[in-house]
C-alpha cells in the first residue's frame, strides 16, 4: 500500500516530473533502488542491494560553468573539464611526492576516493584526531533581532555565512570570519511574512536558495544574499518543523506537526507530492544525495526512511519517548536523540539501533528524569558526531567498530538549550544556536542562558 497521497489538481503535473526524472536515469544506465523488504521481527535485517546511489555527478549536472564558451560543444567542454581534473590530480600527486608518500597506486586511490566522496560513500576516520577545543577562540554572537530563543541554524556550503532563526520571527545572516551580523529580516504582519516563530532553515548546495519554516505553516524561499522573499509554499496545516534539501539538487523536503512530509521542486517552484505515515507530529527531516528522506516522528516513537521512487517507507523503532532530532551520518547510518535521554546510532538495514547510550546527558537533579537531547550533529561521512541538551554541555562522540559503539571524546560547556548545531564542512568549527527555552515549547526556562550564536573552534592533533 502506498503512503504517498497526491491532490487531483497536481497529479498529472507531478507524474510528468517523475517520469522525466526516471527517463533521465534510464538514459544514463542507472538502475532504480530495489525494495528493501518488509519490516519483520525486532532484530530482522532488511535486505537490499547497494544500488540506490546515483551516478557520480558531473561538473555540469548541477549548474553551468561560469567560464563556458557559448561556442563550445559538449565534447569540447567535457575534454576541458577532464584536463582540469587531471591537472588537479597531478598537483596533489606532486605534493605527496615532496613528502615521500607517493606510490604506483596514488593516482588510482585518489580517483577512487574522489568517486566515493562525490557519491557520499567515502567513510573518513577522523574522530581520534579531535582532542578538544580552543576556549580562548570561542566567539559569541548576539543581536537585538534575536531577543527570544534561537531555534535553528544552517551554514552555507562555502563556510562563509551562518543563517539563524528564532522565536521572535527573525532570520539573521552572520559572517563567520568577521564574527558579525551581515543582514537580518523581521516578521511583517502587513505582507504576512515570517509571522510567528521560525523553527527550521535549510540552504541549497549551491547557496542559491535559503528556505525557512515555522508556526506560520508556510514554507518560504529566500535569496541568501539579500534575504528577499522569492516564493512561498502553502499546504501544511500546522507548524513546519523541518526542511531539508536533497544534496546537489533543488528538491526540497518539508515536515510538519500535521504529520505529513511534502516534496517541492524549487526549479519550477512547484508542489510535487505528500507523504503520509507518521502517527503524530513530525519533528525533523534530513536528506543526502539519495532519492529519499529521513524523518523523526516525535511521540509515535519512530524514525522513517522514505524511498521516493518506490513510494514506500522503512520504519525504525528504539526510543522509549519522543524522538525530537535526527541526522544522517552517511547514506547508510544516522543518529537520533529524544526526551528519554537516549542517543542512538542506526543502520538503514536494521530496524533497531546499532548502539544506544542511555542518559547520554545525565539526569535532571530536580525530577530525576533523563535530560532531554535537544539536537544532534554529524560531520558528514565521518565517525564524528555531537549531541546537546540543557545540562550545560555539548558532547562529541566517536562511532567505533562499524557504528556499533559510541565513545565519548570530550565535552564543551554551554549554558542553555542548544536547539541546533552544525559542523562546518571542513570540520574545524562547531556552531551552536543557544536559547533560554526548547525550540518547540516553553515548559522549561534557563534564566542564566543567553540567546546567542556560539562558534567553537575545534582542536585536532597536529594543529
- Indicate if the alpha-carbon torsion angle 185, 191, 197, 198 is positive or negative: negative
Q: What is the mean pLDDT of residues 298-311?
A: 92
**Using one digit for the tens of pLDDT, what is the confidence trace for 349-367?**
999 999 999 999 999 888 8
Q: Are 217 and 236 in contact (CB under 8 A)?
A: yes
Please measure the distance between the N-terminal and C-terminal CA atoms of the chain and give it in whole angstroms.
Answer: 54
Q: Return the closest-CA partner of residue 180 out of 134, 140, 150.
A: 140
Using CB atoms within 10 A of its CB, is residue 377 exposed (0-12), middle (13-18) or buried (19+)?
A: buried
* Greater pLDDT, 98 or 135: 135
Q: What is the mean pLDDT of residues 16-43?
A: 47
Which residue in this structure is represented by grid cell 538502475?
A: 31
Q: What is the mean pLDDT of residues 420-447?
A: 92
Cell numbers for 40: 519483520
What CATH number does the domain located at 127-460 have? 2.130.10.10
* Greater pLDDT, 143 or 92: 143
Pairing, β 4-5 against β 429-435: unpaired
pLDDT at 258 > cutoff 70: yes
Q: Which of 86-90, 102-106, 307-311 has the largest mean confidence?
A: 307-311
Pairing, β 405-413 against β 417-423: unpaired
Q: Are 406 and 337 in contact (CB under 8 A)?
A: no
Q: Average pLDDT, whole number, for the chain?
A: 83
**Using one digit for the tens of pLDDT, what is the confidence trace for 167-196?**
999 999 999 999 999 999 987 766 667 778
DSSP per residue, 305-353: EEETTTTEEEEEE--SS-EEEEEESSSSEEEEEETT--EEEEETTBSS-
Which residue in this structure is represented by grid cell 546527558?
A: 361
* Greater pLDDT, 463 or 164: 164
The predicted pLDDT at position 79 comes to 81
Q: What is the mean pLDDT of residues 367-396?
A: 93
Name, in order, each residue with C-beta under 8 angstroms of 193's C-beta and a sequence gap of 6 or more. 185, 187, 220, 229, 232
Confidence of residue 110 (pLDDT cuts 50, 70, 90): low
How many Cα neighbours within 13 Å face the side chain of 452? 16
Amino acid at each position: 500500500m502506498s503512503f504517498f497521497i497526491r491532490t487531483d489538481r497536481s497529479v498529472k503535473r507531478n507524474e510528468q516530473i517523475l517520469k522525466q526524472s526516471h527517463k533521465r536515469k534510464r538514459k544514463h544506465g542507472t538502475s532504480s533502488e530495489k525494495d528493501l523488504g518488509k519490516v519483520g521481527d525486532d532484530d530482522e535485517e532488511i535486505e537490499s542491494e547497494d544500488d540506490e546511489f546515483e551516478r557520480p555527478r558531473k561538473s555540469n549536472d548541477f549548474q553551468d560553468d561560469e567560464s563556458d564558451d557559448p561556442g563550445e560543444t559538449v565534447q569540447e567542454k567535457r575534454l576541458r573539464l577532464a584536463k582540469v581534473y587531471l591537472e588537479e590530480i597531478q598537483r596533489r600527486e606532486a605534493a605527496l611526492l615532496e613528502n615521500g608518500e607517493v606510490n604506483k597506486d596514488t593516482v588510482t586511490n585518489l580517483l577512487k576516493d574522489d568517486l566515493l566522496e562525490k557519491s557520499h560513500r567515502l567513510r573518513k576516520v577522523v574522530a581520534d584526531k579531535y582532542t578538544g577545543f580552543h576556549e580562548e577562540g570561542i566567539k559569541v554572537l548576539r543581536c537585538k533581532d534575536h531577543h527570544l530563543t534561537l531555534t535553528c541554524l544552517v551554514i552555507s556550503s562555502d563556510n562563509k555565512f551562518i543563517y539563524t532563526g528564532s522565536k521572535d520571527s527573525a532570520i539573521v545572516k552572520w559572517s563567520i570570519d568577521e564574527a558579525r551580523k551581515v543582514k537580518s529580516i523581521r516578521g511583517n504582519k502587513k505582507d504576512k511574512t515570517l509571522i510567528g516563530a521560525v523553527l527550521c532553515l535549510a540552504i541549497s548546495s549551491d547557496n542559491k536558495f535559503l528556505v525557512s519554516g515555522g508556526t506560520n505553516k508556510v514554507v518560504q524561499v529566500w535569496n541568501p544574499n539579500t534575504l528577499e522573499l522569492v516564493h512561498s509554499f502553502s499546504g501544511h496545516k500546522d507548524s513546519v518543523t523541518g526542511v531539508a534539501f536533497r544534496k546537489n539538487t533543488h528538491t526540497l523536503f518539508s515536515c510538519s506537526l500535521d504529520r505529513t512530509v511534502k516534496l517541492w521542486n524549487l526549479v519550477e517552484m512547484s508542489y510535487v507530492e505528500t507523504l503520509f505515515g507518521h502517527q503524530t507530529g513530525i519533528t525533523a527531516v534530513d536528506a543526502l544525495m539519495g532519492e529519499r528522506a529521513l524523518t523523526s516522528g516525535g511521540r509515535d516513537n519512530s524514525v522513517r526512511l522514505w524511498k521516493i521512487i518506490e513510494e514506500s517507507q522503512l520504519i525504525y523503532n528504539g526510543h522509549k519517548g519522543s524522538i525530537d532530532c535526527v541526522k544522517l551520518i552517511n547514506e547508510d547510518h544516522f543518529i537520533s536523540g529524544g526526551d528519554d535521554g537516549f542517543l542512538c546510532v542506526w543502520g538503514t538495514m536494521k530496524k533497531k539501533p546499532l548502539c544506544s547510550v542511555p542518559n547520554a546527558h545525565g539526569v535532571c537533579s530536580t525530577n530525576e528524569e533523563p535530560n532531554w537531547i535537544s539536537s544532534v550533529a554529524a560531520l558528514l561521512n565521518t565517525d564524528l558526531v555531537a549531541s546537546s541538551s540543557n545540562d550545560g554541555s555539548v558532547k562529541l562522540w566517536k562511532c567505533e567498530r562499524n557504528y556499533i559503539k559510541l565513545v565519548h571524546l570530550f565535552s564543551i560547556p554551554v549554558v542553555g538549550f542548544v536547539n541546533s548545531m552544525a559542523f562546518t564542512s571542513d570540520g574545524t568549527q562547531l556552531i551552536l544556536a543557544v536559547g533560554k527555552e526548547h525550540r518547540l515549547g516553553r515548559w522549561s526556562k534557563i534564566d542564566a542562558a543567553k540567546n546567542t550564536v556560539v562558534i567553537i573552534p575545534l582542536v585536532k592533533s597536529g594543529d
